[in-house]
Structure 1
Amino acid sequence: MKSFIASFLLLAPVLALAAGSTPTTKAAAKPAATAKKASAKPAAKKPAQAKSKAPAAAAAAAGAAGAVTVAQALTPDELAIAERVHTGRIACELGAHVNVSKHEQHAGHFQIDGKGFKYEMVPVATTTGTVRLEDKAAGAVWLQIANKSMLMNQKLGQRLADECMSPEQFQVAEAIKKNPPPSVLDPVAGSK
């Protein structure tokens, strides 16, 4: 229980930052406005609106695909974060796995894939020191702390992989089980 609380306290600021980092744009407000306009217009114009949305969707998909091929220039801090990313086939809960590999052409970029997903991610600096990789176009985030990692899709609002552990993270998790860190809820020695 203590290790769960400690893990939660370590991960809580990261999750709060992740939840707060979803940008609010005019595009997010458009679906509601479009729905109001569509209900006010005659039914005959709805197919034309559907046609105009198709090229926009294709352009958005092309933009997302372009984000994968265009190399984002990384700062020295982001390159330092990239050095700490665990790579390889990483086992997750429920028999799932995630493959994390360095991008062949772009330093500091990573490809993360698994069953039903594939992302190209770049490091993002955090205030907590947590390793965070993002694919902003897809809304995917890979978070790595000392004893586990997780993959989330912010656009869908779900975790794609949880309790993922590289061999190094597994060793840390086992050490925490054998010698749990003191809980923030435990009284401090010498205090009354």
Structure 2
Amino acid sequence: MSTLKQSLLHLSLVGLCSSGLLSLSTAALAAPEAAAKPAAKAAAPAKPAPKNTKVVKGKPAAKPAPVDVVLAEANEEQLYAASRAYMGQYDCEFKQTIHITKHPKTEGYLDVAWQKQVFTMKPVLSSTGALRLEDVTGRTLMIQIANKSMLMDTHVGQRLVDECINPEQRTLIDLARAAAAEAAASGIEATGGLGIAPAPAAAVAATAAPVKK
């Protein structure tokens, strides 16, 4: 009897497999296992487009226009001082240059050009014999002596450029050196400047040959 029941159960299972019901049961059992798996990782949100951080520079502020200075009429002393100034190019230290020209509009004034700047100067003779070219705006001062010239910033009291020599000053330097050499050969002591001065009488007497009696 038990053998008959087993045979009937076997036949029932074969029928279920042929009808596809067993496949559905297997799929149903697999469904919970699939549901237990973690959901796929959500896609990362798209990064926002980078902001335009480029700084657009505006045009630099325009420099204020220079204030026109009314130049007073030059007197005779100023005209004479202007005639004593050396015109043209000066060769200065550190391969710099200065150019001095007459003012194009007002007689008795000079224009001093240095590093793309032009200063209008009023010539004045000092008591020491040096020629002062005074900036009409009070900003700079150029001093001319026999063997060189220099440009100064009067606001800070410093030299802007030094050892400026014009061809005429170069000639004076060469003449002074020749005079110093001649003076030394003649027993005359040369001074530290461009001029020469006689040596003291006692020094000359000491170097002179004794007179035979």
TM-score relative to the length of structure 2: 0.54
Please report how far the alpha carbon of residue 116 of structure 1 lies from its aligned counterpart in structure 2 after TM superposition: 5.0
C-alpha separation between the residues in 1 aligned to 2:105 and 2:114?
21
C-alpha separation between the residues in 1 aligned to 2:123 and 2:134?
6
Higher helix proportion (structure 1 or 2): 1
Q: Corresponding residue for 2:82?
A: 82
C-alpha separation between the residues in 1 aligned to 2:155 and 2:116?
15
Please report how far the alpha carbon of residue 191 of structure 1 lies from its aligned counterpart in structure 2 after TM superposition: 3.3
- Aligned pairs for 1:35-184 (under 5 A) are 65-67=67-69, 70-115=70-115, 117-180=117-180, 182-183=190-191
Structure 1, unmatched stretches of 5+, are 1-57
Percent identity of paired positions between Structure 1 and Structure 2 = 31
Q: Does 1:188 align with 2:199?
A: yes
Please report how far the alpha carbon of residue 187 of structure 1 lies from its aligned counterpart in structure 2 after TM superposition: 8.5
Question: Residues 98 and 161 of structure 1 are in contact (CA less than 8 Å); yes or no, is this contact kept in structure 2?
Answer: no
Structure 2, unmatched stretches of 5+, are 1-62, 181-188, 204-213
One-letter amino acid of the structure 2 residue matched with residue 189 of structure 1: P
* C-alpha RMSD over aligned residues: 2.6
Total equivalences in the alignment: 129
Deviation per CA, 1:87-145, whole angstroms, max 9, x where unpaired? Answer: 11211122100011101110011111111532110112311121111014242111111
Please report how far the alpha carbon of residue 79 of structure 1 lies from its aligned counterpart in structure 2 after TM superposition: 0.5
C-alpha separation between the residues in 2 aligned to 1:85 and 1:182?
26
Question: Residues 120 and 136 of structure 2 are in contact (CA less than 8 Å); yes or no, is this contact kept in structure 1?
Answer: no
C-alpha separation between the residues in 2 aligned to 1:130 and 1:113?
20
